[in-house]
Amino acid sequence: MAKSGPKPRIWTDAERALVRNAAIAGIPQEHIARALKTTKTTLEENFETELKDGKTHLGAIAVGQLAQKIRAGNLTAIIFYLKTQHKWRETERHEITGKDGADFKPVLNITIRKPD
């Protein structure tokens, strides 16, 4: 008769709720796995839905808070949103010209010194 390996762990509804709520709270997966006495890999394999749902929920909260700040006129929030969502960039442009706006012609001066 063949030996069978260890019996697969059956995860409870309470553990699934814990993972979802921990993900909503933004707790790192390594910490959630430690609380369940398992590995991060096992957590990801067995709680994919709960982890994704938690991340989505937390993201929705963050976006909602950002939207409130934007509506309230918070300049930092507005700038952040425009930079991340509309590719706004702060740029500086320096133009170098020659005398009176003429083309710039670089000159390389090399001085050779004789050893003492």
By the 10 Å C-beta count (0-12 exposed, 13-18 middle, 19+ buried), 15 is classed as middle
Structural domain of 36:
13-101
* Count of domains observed in the chain: 1
115 within a domain of the structure (yes/no)? no
30 within a domain of the structure (yes/no)? yes
CA–CA gap between residue 54 and residue 57 (Å, rounded): 5
| Predicted confidence (pLDDT) per residue in 19-64, tens digit | 999 999 999 999 999 999 999 999 999 999 999 999 999 899 999 9
- Decide if pLDDT at 1 tops 60: no
Least confident among 46-50, 55-59, 69-73, 74-78: 55-59
87 within a domain of the structure (yes/no)? yes
60 within a domain of the structure (yes/no)? yes
106 within a domain of the structure (yes/no)? no
